[in-house]
Amino acid sequence: MSAILFLGVAIGSGLLSIFVALYIFYMVNKADEGDEKMREVSALIEDGAYSFIKVQYRILTIFTIILAVLIALIFRDFGIPIAISYFLGSLASMAAGFIGVVVATKANRRTAAAAASGGLNPAFKVAFRAGSVMGLMIAGIALVGLGSLYLLWNLLPDIIFVVIPRPAGLWEIITGFSFGASTVALFAKAGGGIYTKTADLSADLVGKIEHHIPEDDPRNPAAVADAVGDNVGDVAGTGADIYDSNVAAILAAGILGAGIDLHFAPALPFALLPLMIAALGAIASVLGVFLVNPKEGQDPGPILNMGTYITTILFAVFAIVTVIALGLSLIIAGAAIIGLLAGVFIGFTSDVFTSDRGFAGFKPVPKMVESAEKSAANLILSGYSYGLLSVVPSVIGIAIAMVVSYLLGAGLEFGEWEGGIYCVAIAAVGLLSTNGMIMSADAYGPIVDNARGVIEQAQASREAIIACDKLDASGNTAKAITKGFAIGASAISVLALFAAYIESTDTLNIVGIEGLTVVNLADPAVLAGALIGALVPVVFSAILILGVERNSERMITEIRRQFDEDPGILAGTSRPDYDRCIAIATSGSIRELMPGTLIAITVTLATGVILGLEALAGFLGGAVMAGLILALLMDNAGGAWDNTKKIIESPEYTTYEQGTDDWHRVHDISVTGDMVGDPFKDTAGPSINTLLVVITLTATLFLPLIAEVHAWLAGLF
């Protein structure tokens, strides 16, 4: 089958996603921007977000150029193609994040204006459509980027390769593209997470607990920084994260498929099939976005879930029809559908543990409200315990998806291991195939959160605030669900990358070392590698959370200073110095994210160099196991604590009358729980997803160097 067919569908569907996203952005941009006060508040948020992105991207560009040069030197003959791929992957990831920030900062005031003039339904439509711009854009950029890069290295004329040889291991070269996307995503997610939770924690502690002023009150100096953080953390960071996971899943399946294609003459399309599957998901996402059209008065939460379910069904139909049309086994379509169903199940689990609806009488968040009425200790213990319990169904779902897809693939004609692990990789691609819809729902969350802040700071009507509160609550749950998708995707795609790493040790034939086929956990070096790997996400999480804590101390000191030196701020007669808090969040977040990122990459390389390739495989396995559990725990516990606070702040909470001493006591306890959960769910937890991809790609990309240095060291002793 012609490779042009597969690449044409991939690039074409990617361009379709991008063009539809641009059209939706045009329509959103035409919406009413609200009154002068709304535009003023939104402009402050927009300027702060651009300021952070400018600083972060300047540092990232320098880092990317330096690493690209090192890659070009280290990999000798193939260094320049890998370095170019790495640089393009980095730029694409930065573009995905920047587009998200542009859209979100323009949509918040339009959502607020719609809530003020029309209520819940019009505001939901504006916010979701704006979120879909981000979702469809990252799906389109991934497909166009990977498809175009494949064409680039295949179709360039021979004269280009006079100085350097034409790359033979094409998917290994494209690993550089994914590595660029993942390193940028790690910086974006970790840095944005530290920024947003620095501001959120500081605003809550000094504003809500110490002075009992509302969350987005314009008197709070951290209010604008908090709103900025929603954009740079939850939009730019999460967008880069989902984009990175999608590219990594396609890459891993492509590497494994390329190994299978070697057994057939002419080659079958297994290397390019992942791109085709992702393209089908992009088309399903485009249709799904337009089918999310709630009726007046409908709860936005179930509508968002329904959009995900519709997109899933469309993708399943497209996958089955395409596989039949290509004359391939339906097992492959089944593996993709199994992966997507696993994602839906993980999302459903997150919904049960983080929303006020629960499932069949099991309602963790309402139970946590009761715990908050007792004491802060009760609330922390219940939230942490429910977070631990939420890991169980998700991990079981991921395990079932892996085993079933492997068993299905083991029956294919090209061998049990190759067929089985290829279908696991296809399951990962299937899970992320509808990332356009997944990210649409995720980006909706920070947009409505910002809109709520704009509404309050613009002193709009109580009805508009209540409408935005309902949107915000559904946004919290939507973010928890999409983070569940991302975590599940990272687990399955990292397993596929792990298999691609083992495949690479065989096909590269580096420095005469025999490739790996089995990793023996009884080997002390392998077990040591697994233990070291399990420590990486633990230490990485601690570094990020401590970074939030240290940076928030600086901002809390600044907020208290402003209140003490200018009593007119709390009286409402003086304007706070918002810029000072934005500057603290920006500089601190960049400074705090560097150690964890560098440690993760350094430890990965050191483990392989010192202990060997098999121990490095154990290292990757240990990191995935510990990282998956930690990420699920922190994501769901944090979301549950947040929505516990939301319930107590809502008019539906009737145990204590708002404004009374008892209500303030319970509210302060819920805010404390939320402050613990914030760095869990928005900084450390989601950053683990990207961390796992980064260390696996580091092991795969630098495999020749690791093996060569290890062999040299072994010769010395």
* Mean pLDDT, residues 570-577 taken together: 86
* Mean pLDDT, residues 608-635 taken together: 89
Place of tokens 């790493």: 501
Spatial distance between the Cα atoms of 512 and 548, rounded to a whole number of angstroms: 46
DSSP characters over 492-528: HHHHHHHHHHHHHHHHS-GGGPPPPS---TTSHHHHH
* Mean pLDDT, residues 612-637 taken together: 89
- State what percent of residues in the chain have pLDDT above 90: 21
> How does 231-259 read in b/e, with b if 16+ C-beta sit within 10 Å?
bbbbbbbbbbbbbbbbbbbbbbbbbbbbb
Residue 413 in this model has a pLDDT that exceeds 80:
no
Spatial distance between the Cα atoms of 326 and 714, rounded to a whole number of angstroms: 49
Find residue 359's DSSP bridge partners.
362
- Record the pTM: 0.85
User: pLDDT tens for residues 7-17?
Assistant: 889 999 999 99
Residue 164 in this model has a pLDDT that exceeds 60:
no
Range of weakest confidence among 193-207, 384-398, 472-486? 472-486
Range of weakest confidence among 61-75, 395-409, 490-504, 695-709? 490-504
What integer pLDDT is reported at residue 253 of this predicted model? 85
Higher pLDDT, 68 or 152: 68
Spatial distance between the Cα atoms of 379 and 386, rounded to a whole number of angstroms: 11
- State what percent of residues in the chain have pLDDT above 70: 90
What integer pLDDT is reported at residue 510 of this predicted model? 46
Closest by CA to 632, choosing from 346, 381, 363, 430, is 346
What integer pLDDT is reported at residue 538 of this predicted model? 94
What integer pLDDT is reported at residue 483 of this predicted model? 65
**CA angle, 11 as apex, 7 and 12 as ends, to 5°?**
110
Residue 575 in this model has a pLDDT that exceeds 90:
no
Residue 472 in this model has a pLDDT that exceeds 80:
no
C-alpha pair distances (Å), 203 with each of 48, 218, 625, 649, 700: 16, 11, 35, 16, 42
Higher pLDDT, 44 or 534: 534
Give backbone dihedrals phi and psi of 196, rounded to 5 degrees, phi first: -65, -35
What is the pLDDT confidence band of residue 169, given thresholds at 50, 70 and 90?
low
Spatial distance between the Cα atoms of 318 and 203, rounded to a whole number of angstroms: 47
Q: Are 281 and 315 in contact (CB under 8 A)?
A: yes
Per the document, the length of the chain is 717
What integer pLDDT is reported at residue 479 of this predicted model? 64
Residue 259 in this model has a pLDDT that exceeds 70:
yes
DSSP characters over 416-452: HHHHHHHHHHHHHHHHHHTHHHHHHHHHHHHHHHHHH
Q: What are the structure tokens assigned to 27, written together?
A: 């329509």
What integer pLDDT is reported at residue 266 of this predicted model? 60
Q: Are 277 and 432 in contact (CB under 8 A)?
A: no
Closest by CA to 146, choosing from 98, 101, 93, is 93
What integer pLDDT is reported at residue 171 of this predicted model? 66
Closest by CA to 413, choosing from 427, 423, 428, 404, is 423
Closest by CA to 322, choosing from 312, 313, 332, is 332
Average pLDDT, the chain: 83
Range of weakest confidence among 410-419, 635-644, 696-705? 410-419
User: pLDDT tens for residues 90-117?
Assistant: 998 888 888 888 888 888 888 888 888 7
What integer pLDDT is reported at residue 17 of this predicted model? 93
Find residue 362's DSSP bridge partners.
359
Beta strands (DSSP E) in 497-645 are none
What integer pLDDT is reported at residue 511 of this predicted model? 47
Higher pLDDT, 313 or 716: 313
Higher pLDDT, 344 or 394: 394
Higher pLDDT, 2 or 427: 427
* Total Cβ atoms within 10 A of residue 166: 13
* Total Cβ atoms within 10 A of residue 105: 27
Place of tokens 């989601």: 686
Residue 411 in this model has a pLDDT that exceeds 70:
yes
